[in-house]
Chains A and B, each alone.
Chain A
Amino acid sequence: MLLAVVVKRAAMALLTLAGVAVVVFVLLRVVPGDPVAMMISPGASAADIAALKAHYGLDEPLLIQFWIWIKGVVSGDFGVSITLHRNVAAVLADRLPATLELAAAALVVAVALGGSIAIAGTLMRRTAGEAVIDGLNSIMLAVPDFIWALALVLLFVIAIPILPLTGRIDPVLAEGFHTKFYLAESIVTGRFAVAGNILSHMAMPTLALALPLAAVIVRLLKQSLKEAMVQDYVLLARIKGFRELRLVLQEALRNAVGPTLALTGVQFTFLIGGTVIVERIFAYPGIGNLAIDAVINRDFPLIQGLVLLFGLIFILVNIGVDLTVAALNPRLRHA
C-alpha cells in the first residue's frame, strides 16, 4: 500500500519536474536579459556577437536548444555554466551541502525553540506569562528573516563582536575535507575545533532563518496543545494526579504535533527559499547566493539547474512530510 503511494508520488514528481523544466526554459528566453549582450564589448561586430552566441549554444532555434538541454538533463548533464565555466551539476553538488546544513540547522533550532516556547506558553496559559510569550511571538512572526539577519549583525558583529560575519568557515581552517558537508564531516571525524568554527559562522544565518519559522511553530503548536489539554484523555490523566508538565509532554503533545509537523515540512521548503537573501547577507556559499549571481548574470544553464534543484527539493520534502505524517497517524496511513 505504502509502496504504491510512493510510486504514484514519484511519477507525479517526475511530471511536475518536467513541467518546471519547460516553464523555466521558456521564461528565461521570454524575460528581458541576454547573457551575450552582457558580455560583448562595445566594439564587437555583428559577426563577433554571432560567434559568441554560437560559443554558448544560444544561436540554435529554441526547440533545438531545449532538446539539447533536456537530453543532457536526463543523462545527468545540466550543461556548463556561462559565468563559472564549470559543469552545472558539479557546481550544484558543491554548493547544495552548505545550504542543506544551514537549512537543517535552522530547522533544528526552529523546532527546538518553537517547541519549547509553545510548551512553556501552554504551561503558562491564562497567566501574564502567556501574554508575554504571545507578544514576543508576534514580533518574531512579523519580522522577516533578512531583518533578523541585519539585527544579528548589529548585535554580534558590531556591538558585541563575538561571531564572524561572512563565509562558512575560517579560510585558514578550510582544508582536509573529503565532502562538502563540512559540519557533519568535522563532527564525525572528531575535529571539534573546526566544527566549532563552522558553527560560529552558521550561528547568525541559522538564527535569522530559524526565528520566523519558530514563531510559526509556536503559534500552531500552542493552539493545538491548548485544544488537546481540554480533551477527555487529558482530564483523565489529570484526575489520576499527573503533573502539568507530564500532561503536556506525555498526553497532549503526541496528539497535537501532527498539524505542526505537516506545516513545518511545508515551511522547510520556504526556509530553503529564504536562504537566498540570508546567504547573500552573510556571504554564505550555498545555492541561494549562487542563485542571485546566476540571475544577475542571466546564466541560463545555471538558473535552469537551480530551478530544477529547488523544485526537486520542494517535491522530496513534501513527499517526506506526507509519509512521516502518515506513519505517525494510522488514520491517514490507510486513507
Chain B
Amino acid sequence: MFNVTRRQALAASGGLLGTLLAPQRFADAAAGNTLNIAYNVNLPSFDPDIGPSSVNPTIQAIYRSIFDQYIGQKPNLSFEPGLLTGWGWNDDKSKVWMDVRQNVVWHDGTPFTPEDVIWSIQREGKQGGGNPVSFIWAGIDNFKTDGNRITADVKQYDPVLFKWMAFLTGYVLPKNYYEKVGPQGFEKKPVGTGPYMVDAYEGDAYLRLKANPKYWGGKPTFETVVFKFVPDATSRVAEIEGGSSDVTLEVPYEEYDRLRKTAGIKGVCTPISDIGQIFITNGGIMDDKNVRLAVCHAIDKDAIIKRLLRGYGVRIDTLEAPEYAAYDPSIKVSHDPALAAKLLAASGYSKEKPVKFTIQTTRGFKPKDYEMIQAIVGMWRNVGIDANIEIYDIAKHFELRMSHRLAPAAFYNWGNAIGDPTTSTGFAMWSKSPHSAWHSDDLDAKIGPLWGEKDEKKRIAGWKAVDRYIAEQCYILPLLQYAQPILYKSDLKVTPNVSGALQPATLISKA
C-alpha cells in the first residue's frame, strides 16, 4: 500500500512548485554545449528519400544534420564534396563516375561503403517506391565498383543529375541497417553518417541530437542540439524573446526588426532561394497578350517590397534569382501603369469597363502573401483590371495546378535550392511538367531542346533566352525573392544559407 503522510504530501507539493518555477530552465544554453532552435516546422518522418517530407525544403536542415548527401552544398549554393569526393561524366556523357569518401562510419559504428551509395540510388530510383523524384535517380543504372570508385551507365542524360545529389532526396542511407530494421524500424531509430545522431524524438514537440564524435567532417561545436518544433510564428518570437531558445527563424519582419535591436539578440535577414510568383494560366482571358502584359506592367514590385515586407526581399523579373546559374540582370519588366492602360485599351478594356478575372492566393503561407495580392489587385484596378481574390490552401493549389485548373492568376512560392534553371523556369513553364500553368507550343519548342543539352554554356545561354522570351510574353509573373529572417542570441554566430536550410553543424557556432 502506498501511504503518504501530510508532511510528505506538503514536501512533494513544495518540490513540485519549486521545480515549476525553477529559473534554471532559462539559463543561457548557448554558453553551454546545448543549442536550442525554435524551428518553424515539425519533422514528420526520418526518411529523407521517401514520402512528402523528403521534398519539403524546410526540413532539409534537420536531414542534413543526421544524414549526409552525395554531394555537399555551401551556403552560397556552390557545391562541395559530400559522401562523394569526386564525380563527373565521361566525354560522351554515356557514363558517370563517383568517388566514394573513405573512412566514414555510420552512427551504429558500421563502415560506410560504395554499396550504400548504389543501394540508395537504386532505392530512390525505384518507380513506385515512394520517392517523389524517382525519375532523376532512375537515369543511371548498371553500377560497377572498383575500389572506392563507382561507375554507371547513363540511361537518360540529365545535366542536373549531380546537382540533385545535393538537393531533395539526395541522401545516402545505410543499406544493411535499413534492410535489417525495415522502414518502420528506421523511423524508430534512424542511422546516418551526419554530424549529429538522433538521441530523442517526440513528434510535434522536439528532436534532440547529440554530436557524432566520429564525424568525418570533425566533431560539431555543440554537444547537443534540440530542434523544438514551433510552427506558430508568435510562439517562435516568444521563444527567442523569453530566452527559451537560442535561435529561431521565419518570424514576421516587424518582429524581426523589433527583436534584433533588443539587448542580447542579433539578427540576420538575407535573400534565399524562395521566389514569390503569380502563375498565369492560359485557356481563358490570359490568352490575350495585351491583358497579360498589362497584368505585368501594372505592378510596382519595389513598392510592395518596401512597404509590405519592410524592404526584405529582392525584386525579380524572371524566375532566376541573382544566385542562380541562369540569372540575367538585363531582363527587365518595367513598372509602367500608363503602358498597362494603353495595352488594355487596345483590347477594349478601361477603368470604366475593366477586364475581370480571379486571382488565387494563400493566406499566411508566406509572409504577407494575402496582403501582397490585395496590393496588386489595387494596382490593377488603377489601370482597368478588376480581379477577384480567392483564398486557397497549398493542397488545393497543387491539385489545381496539376490538373491545369488554376485561376487565370494564382500566387505561389517556388523554391530552387540548387539554382539550376531546369528546377525553376524549366519545371514551372514546360507544359509536360505537372506543375506548370502556362501550356503553349511556342514555349515548349524553346524549352524542349534544353533538357538534354550537353554543352553547359550553351544550355545556360538557352535558358536565359527562354527567360527573356517568357518576360516579353508575360507567361508568368515573378514578383520577388524572399529574405529569411533569423534571430539568435548574441553569443552565437550564424551564417545564413541561400538555400534557407539552417543546419546547425556548419552554420551556427559560438561567437
Contacts and interface: CB of A to CB of B under 8 A. Distances in A.
Interface stretch (B90-98, B211-219, B293-301, B394-402): B394-402
Nearest to A153: B238
Interface string A28-60: 000011110111111111011101101110000
A226 interface: no
Nearest to B188: A86
Nearest to B205: A285
B120 to A, nearest CB: 17
A175 interface: yes
A234 interface: no
A193 B127 CA distance: 51
Contact of B239 (A163, A166, A170): A166
Contacts of A157: 238-239, 241-242, 244
A265 interface: no
Contact of B202 (A150, A168, A282, A292): A168
Contacts of B203: 84, 91, 94-95, 285, 290
A167 B228 contact: yes
A284 interface: yes
B463 to A, nearest CB: 15
A49 B394 CA distance: 18
Interface stretch (B12-20, B170-178, B490-498): B12-20
Interface stretch (A112-120, A132-140, A197-205, A319-327): A197-205
B382 interface: no
A286 B23 CA distance: 26
A267 interface: no
Contacts of A175: 200
A23 to B, nearest CB: 19
Contact of A37 (B26, B128, B402, B436): B402
A162 interface: yes
Nearest to B202: A285
A293 B427 contact: no
A171 B25 contact: no
Given A40-B132, A41-B55, A43-B136, A161 B230 contact: no
B200 A171 contact: yes
A152 to B, nearest CB: 10
A165 B235 contact: yes
Interface centre among A37, A43, A164, A281 (most CB of B within 10 A): A43
Contacts of B398: 33-34, 37-38
A320 to B, nearest CB: 27
Interface centre among A163, A171, A203, A284 (most CB of B within 10 A): A171
Interface string A121-156: 000000000000000000000000000001001100
A49 B398 CA distance: 13
A199 B16 CA distance: 8
A84 B44 CA distance: 5
Interface in A50-102: 51-52, 54-56, 81-87, 91, 94-95
Size bin of chain A's contact surface: 35 or more
Given A161-B243, A164-B25, A165-B235, A85 B128 contact: no
B396 A32 contact: yes
A167 B16 contact: no
Contact of A34 (B21, B136, B232, B395): B395
Contacts of B243: 161
Contacts of A224: none
Contacts of A37: 395, 398-399, 401-402, 434
B230 A283 contact: yes
Interface string B401-441: 11000000000000000000011001110001111100000
Contacts of A259: none
A52 B130 contact: yes
Interface in A285-328: 285-286, 289-290, 292-293, 296-298
Contacts of A197: 19-20
B15 A289 contact: no
Contacts of A91: 203
Given A33-B393, A158-B238, 9 more contacts: A34-B398, A39-B132, A40-B132, A86-B187, A162-B21, A166-B228, A166-B244, A289-B42, A293-B42
14 contacts: A40-B434, A43-B433, A56-B130, A83-B53, A85-B187, A157-B241, A166-B228, A167-B228, A174-B202, A195-B19, A197-B19, A203-B20, A284-B205, A285-B205
List the 7 closest pairs (A to B, CB-CB), nearest first. A196-B19, A42-B427, A33-B395, A51-B128, A285-B205, A42-B435, A32-B396
Interface of B: 12, 15-23, 25-26, 38, 42, 44-45, 47, 50-55, 127-130, 132-136, 168, 183-184, 187, 200, 202-206, 208, 226, 228-232, 234-235, 238-239, 241-244, 392-396, 398-402, 422-423, 426-428, 432-436
